[in-house]
Chain A
C-alpha cells in the first residue's frame, strides 16, 4: 500500500508538474501574444481561466491533432437551412445585435432571423410568460446572467448549452449551465461632451455624489434594474456600509433621471437630457457609432456582468439555434470586439472598437456576484428608504 502510495504520489506529482509546465507554457505563449492597452483586462480573465481549468486545458493540448476543427458541419448547416428560421430574444442594444445577425445571415444565407430585444426584466417576464402559456417561440436567448439563473431554474433554458466545437483557448469557466458567457459588460460613466468637458467630467463613481451633478445624472432604476442593483451591492461590500450609504445619499440627493435600464440611461446623455450617465460600455460604443458627442470614464475596479448565450428548452428550430451559437463562439466573437462588445478573449490581430481599446492597462477586474432574492430585496428596501 505504501509503495503503491508512493508510486501514486510520484505519479500525481509528475502529473501536476506536467500540467503546470503545460499551463505555464500555454500561458506564456498566450500572454506573449497580448500587448497594448487591452492587456490588463485580458490578463485578469485569462489568469482566472487558467487557474480554474488546468486539467481541461492540459487535456485539450495533449490530445490536440493537426486536423483543423470543423466548426460548421455540412449536416448541421443543411438541417438549419431546412428549418429556415431562428428566433432570438436578447438584451443587447438593437444596433449591436443587428450587426451580429447580419454577419450570420451573410454567412448562412436563406435563414430568416427574428429578434426581440428587451430589458433584463422584460426578457425574463416575456419568456417565462410564454413558457407558462405553452408558447415555445424562442430558439436562442442572449441576456444577463442573473435572470438566466431564474430561467434555468424554471426550465425555460436548455439544461446545458448545446454541444458545439469550441475554438482553441476558449476559457472553460465561461461554459456554464446557463449558457456560454461570451459577452462581458462593464459599468462606465458616460458624458455628453457638448455639456461637459473631459476635464470637468466625473473621474470616479464617487464624483456622482457631488452636488454639482444635481439634476444632470441618468441611471437605471436602483430599485428595479437587477444588474445595477447587484453592482451597487458589490460596491457596498467593497466600500463598507458607511462610505456606501453616504455616497448613496449624495447621489440620490442629486435627483437622477431614472430609466428602466442602462440603455435608456445612455440615450438620455446622447439626447442631452442628462449630462452624465451611469451606464455600460456597450452603450457608449453604440452612441459613438451614431456619431454622438460622448466621452466616458472607466471605473476602477471594472465591474459589470456577463451575458450568457444559450438555447431554449423547447426551441422550435434547434439546429438553427445550435448553428447560431456555434457561429457566435467562432466568428461572432470577432465581430463583437469590432463593434465594442467584450468577447471572452480579445484578438489583437483583428479590429478592436475604440471603446475597448481605451481600457486602461492598470485596471483591476472584479468578477460579478449574483445575490439571493432575500439579499436583493433587503438592499432595495434600504435604498427605498432614502428615496
Chain B
C-alpha cells in the first residue's frame, strides 16, 4: 500500500508517460521518414540507407546508453566539449542525464523497428494511389499528408504502440541516463525498490510490477485492436503493382543528408566512441593528446578479469543453448497452432504470446517469487536466466517460425503421408527443410536478444551466473570504462555478425511486425 500511496509513484508514472510517448513519437517519425526515403524517393544510395536504418539494432542498448554518456555528458562528453570549445560556451549545450536524453537514445534505438514495420507497409501499398493524387495536382508533401499517412495509419500506430510498450519496460537506458539525475520511471523504480535501502522490498517491487503489467497489457490490447482494423485500410488487391520512386529533385540530397545524419548519430558516433574508449590507457576525460597514447591493453585485460571471462561464456551458452531450446519450443507451439486448428491450439497460442505483454522486469520479479519458494534449486543459477529469457522472448521466435509454417501448404504434408511417410519423416524431409529460413532467422534473433538481455539478468544473476551486460553495467559503475568498452566492442562484432546473417535471411521484418 505504501508504494501505491507514494508520491514517487505518481512522479514515475508521469515521467514514464512522457518518456514512452516522446520516444515512440520520435522513433516512429524517424522510421517513417527513412521508410519513405527508401521506398518512395529517388534518394541516392538507397540500398545503403536500408542497412543504415537498421544499424542501431545491432548495438546493445546498454552500450548505446553508455556511448551517449561518453558523447553528451555535460562535463566530459566529447560532443559537448567540442561545442563548448567551438562556440566558447560556459555551459554544455546538451545534458544526456535528463528525460530528453533518455527519449533521444530510446528513439534512435527503436527507430529500426519503426522503419521495418512502416517500410513493409509502404512496399505493399499500391503506388497508383499516390500517382492519382499527383495527377490531381497535389504536391509530393500533400500526397504524403493526405494519402500516404492516412493509408499507413495502422502501421504507424502499430509502430507507435510497440515503441511505447518497449520504452515502458526497458531498464537499460533509464538506469544509465535517468538515475544520475533522479529521473525515475517505472523500471528504475522497480530496480531501486529491490536494490537499495536496507532490505530488498520484493512486495513493493511486485506492486509496481503489477502497475507496469496492467499498463503494457492494456497497450497490447490497443495494439491488437488497431492492427485488426487494417481491413479498412486494405490497398493490396488482386492486381499486382510495381514499386515506383518519385523524383524529388534536389531534395534528394536533403533526404540523403538526413539519412546520413541519423546514421552518424545512431551508429557511427556511438560505435566510434566505444572503440576509442577501448583503446584509452586509463579512465579519464578524453582529450586530443589521447590519440597518441592509444593501447591494446584493455583487450588483454579482459583475459585477466575472470568475471568478464566467465560472463562471456555464460552469455555465449545462454545465447546459443537458450536460443536452440527456445526455437524448439517455438516450433512445437507454432506447429500445433498452425496445423492443428482447434480450441486447445488457440489457448496454447494465447498462453505462449502472453509474455509479449509482460515486461522483462515484471517477468524477473515473478521468477524471483516463484523460484524462491519452489525449491527446485534453479534460483541463483544460470538456469533461472535461461527460463526467464525463453519465457519472455518466446513470442518473437513463434512469430518467425509460424510465418514460415503458414507459407507451407498442407498438401505437401498430405502428399508425404499418402506416400507412406510417417509424421516424423514428413517433419524431417518436408517441413523442417522448407521452414528452415524462418527457424534459422528466429534462432538468430533470439540469440542476439539473449546475448544482450539486461533487465531480467540484473535481477536474477548471482555469483557464477554473471552475463556480459551485467558485467558491463558493473564495470561502468566501478570505473573500468576502457575495459568495458573493449568487451562492448567485441559484443557489437558478435551482434553484427548474427544480425547480418538474420538480415540476409530476410526475416527481421516479419518478426518486428
Interface residues of A (CB under 8 A from B): 87, 89, 93-94, 114, 116-117, 119, 121-122, 124-126, 128-130, 132-135, 137-138, 146-147, 150, 194-195, 215-216, 221, 224-226, 257-261, 263-264, 266-267, 270-275, 290-292, 373, 376, 384, 387
Contacts and interface: CB of A to CB of B under 8 A. Distances in A.
A324 B76 CA distance: 41
B252 interface: no
A130 B192 CA distance: 18
B478 interface: yes
Contacts of B380: 129-130, 133, 135, 137
Contacts of A267: 283, 477-479
B342 interface: no
Looking at A133, A261, A267, A373, the one whose CB has the most chain B CB atoms below 10 A away is: A133
Interface stretch (B15-23, B108-116, B149-157, B193-201): B193-201
Contact of A137 (B74, B179, B464): B464
Given A132-B372, A270-B283, A124 B481 contact: no
Contacts of B197: 121, 224, 226
Categorize the interface residue count of chain B: 35 or more
A301 B179 CA distance: 30
11 contacts: A114-B463, A128-B200, A129-B200, A129-B380, A135-B379, A147-B198, A150-B198, A267-B478, A270-B479, A271-B283, A273-B285
A137 B462 CA distance: 9
Contact of A271 (B7, B76, B97): B76
A128 B91 CA distance: 44
Nearest to B91: A215
A121 B191 CA distance: 11
B349 to A, nearest CB: 33
Contacts of A124: 198-200
B279 to A, nearest CB: 16
B7 to A, nearest CB: 8
B463 A263 contact: no
Given A133-B371, A270-B284, A126 B462 contact: yes
A259 B177 CA distance: 11
Contact of B479 (A87, A114, A264): A264
Given A93-B478, A121-B197, A271-B481, A215 B372 contact: no
B192 A224 contact: yes
Given A257-B97, A273-B75, 12 more contacts: A87-B463, A94-B480, A134-B377, A135-B381, A137-B464, A195-B75, A216-B75, A226-B197, A226-B198, A271-B76, A274-B75, A387-B182
B375 interface: yes
A148 to B, nearest CB: 10
Contacts, number: 130
A273 B73 contact: yes
B200 A272 contact: no
Nearest to A264: B477
Given A257-B97, A258-B181, A263-B477, A290 B282 contact: yes
Given A215-B74, A270-B479, A133 B463 contact: no
Nearest to B97: A257
Contact of B196 (A114, A121, A264): A121
Contact of B285 (A126, A138, A257, A272): A272
Contacts of A137: 380, 462-464
Interface in B6-34: 7-8
A89 B283 CA distance: 25
B75 A291 contact: no
A135 B74 CA distance: 43
B368 interface: yes
Contacts of A264: 477-479
Given A137-B463, A264-B478, A257 B198 contact: no
A5 to B, nearest CB: 50
B44 interface: no
B93 interface: no
Nearest to B463: A116
Interface string B463-486: 110000000001001111100000
A263 B477 CA distance: 8
A376 B196 CA distance: 13
Given A94-B478, A133-B372, A272 B76 contact: yes
Contacts of B474: 117
Nearest to B199: A150
B506 interface: no
B180 interface: yes
B459 to A, nearest CB: 9
Given A258-B180, A264-B478, A267-B478, A128 B284 contact: no
Contacts of B75: 195, 215-216, 272-275
Contacts of A147: 198
Contacts of B97: 257
A59 B119 CA distance: 84
Given A121-B196, A133-B379, A267-B478, A260 B179 contact: yes
B401 to A, nearest CB: 34
A15 to B, nearest CB: 43
Contacts of B192: 224
Nearest to B462: A130
Looking at B76, B462, B463, the one whose CB has the most chain A CB atoms below 10 A away is: B463
A257 B76 contact: no
B283 A129 contact: no
A362 B181 CA distance: 37
A185 B313 CA distance: 36
A221 B182 contact: yes
Looking at B7, B194, B462, the one whose CB has the most chain A CB atoms below 10 A away is: B462
B284 A272 contact: yes
Nearest to B380: A135
B472 to A, nearest CB: 14
A225 B463 CA distance: 22
Contacts of A224: 192, 196-197
- Nearest 6 CB-CB pairings of A with B: A272-B285, A267-B479, A133-B379, A224-B196, A135-B380, A272-B76
A146 B481 contact: no
Looking at B180, B381, B464, the one whose CB has the most chain A CB atoms below 10 A away is: B180
